[in-house]
Every structure is written in structure tokens, then in C-alpha cells.
Amino acid sequence: MQFVTPRFTSVLLCQQWKEETAKLYQDRKVMRLIGEPLSQKKSEAVASTFIEANQRPWPAQKVWSITCNQTQAFCGIQMLCKSVLQDTAEIGIILAPSMNGKGAAREAMGALVEFGLEYLNLHQIIAQFEKRHLATKRLVTQLNFKQADDNCFQPSKTNLVTYTFSR
């Protein structure tokens, strides 16, 4: 379960990138519109959970590391989590701060959408995020996601907005 874009390679998260993944969850700036930063212990447990989930067959949650093709540097993570709705998954991405503003999210997440539709036979992909996260709103809009009727998805928090991409 790997895919490549002109600048990035996404492979299932493994032990090699566990520490970098944990650091994303500890970073106050990265987490500012996601939730409270996690402690080192908790963030390492989250990264370990992702790696363990990647050992199970789909439709278990899958988390990919994103690395730079040129330098092999860690650039972030992205995920698909199978929804209870048939042929639907939720998508998410967290970039390393050094990658912000460089088009990395659009390129990497665009490839993940394509991968999900083509290889996992998804018919709908859901992106759910905090309303104040304007960069994510721009990203999903650029990727042709459409704002959904929030009543349909009943987000657990009222500050969330839902966008969907459908075939």
C-alpha cells in the first residue's frame, strides 16, 4: 500500500518514522486546531497504535508516512479510516511544520484520495475538521470536496465541519 507523486512517497507508517510521528502530536502549533498536544508517552502510544493497525488488512485504519522523494526526509502523515457507511472512509493529514505553505498537503492528500478510490474501491471520502481551520478548508475545496449537510454526519463536536468527495 504505497503510492508516489512527483515530490513525495507515501508508505504505510512503520517503526522508522515512529519518533517523527509522535513529535507531530507533541507540537503545540501543529495541534492548535486539532486538540491539545500530547505528552511524549501518549504520542508514542498513538504512533505505535498506527503502526499496529497497519499490520491488519483493510478496512482497518491505515496511516501512511509522507517522505520527500529527493531527500527522503519525513514530511508528515496521512490516514484513511473506514467509516460505518458502505464504501466510505474518513481522511486526515498532518504535515511537519517545515512543509506548510509548499503545496505538500494538496499533492499528498490528492494522491491518497486517488488511491482510496482506485485501489480500496471507496465511493466517498469524508474530511472532518474544525471550522476555524481555514487551510484545511482551502485544501479540501481545491481537491473538489463539497461541504456536507452536517446533520447527515452528526459530528460529535459542534465546531466541526464536514466535507465529502464522491465518485
Tens-place pLDDT, residues 9-45: 999 999 999 999 999 999 999 999 899 999 999 999 9
Q: What percent of the chain clears pLDDT 70, i.e. is strictly above it?
A: 95
Has residue 70 got a pLDDT over 70?
Answer: yes
Query: What's the DSSP call for residue 57?
Result: P
As a whole number, mean pLDDT of residues 145-153 equals 77
**Hey, what amino acid is at 142?**
Q
Per-residue confidence (pLDDT) for residue 53, from 0 to 100 = 95
| Cβ-contact 114, 75 below 8 angstroms | no
Q: Report the distance separating Cα 82 and Cα 56, nearest Å.
A: 13
Tens-place pLDDT, residues 84-139: 888 999 999 999 999 999 999 999 999 999 999 999 999 999 999 999 899 999 99
Has residue 165 got a pLDDT over 90?
Answer: yes
- Checking phi first, is residue 58 left (phi over 0); if not, alpha (psi -120 to 50) or beta? beta
Query: What's the DSSP call for residue 47?
Result: H
Has residue 155 got a pLDDT over 70?
Answer: no
Per-residue confidence (pLDDT) for residue 10, from 0 to 100 = 98
Provide the b/e sequence for 146-162 (b: ≥16 CB within 10 Å): eebeeeebeeeeeeebb
Per-residue confidence (pLDDT) for residue 65, from 0 to 100 = 98
Q: Report the distance separating Cα 9 and Cα 7, nearest Å.
A: 7
Tens-place pLDDT, residues 101-110: 999 999 999 9
| Cβ-contact 68, 75 below 8 angstroms | yes
Per-residue confidence (pLDDT) for residue 151, from 0 to 100 = 58
Structural domains for the chain: 2-166 (3.40.630.30)
Whole-number Cα distances in Å, 99 to 13, 17, 92, 102: 18, 16, 16, 6
Per-residue confidence (pLDDT) for residue 156, from 0 to 100 = 57
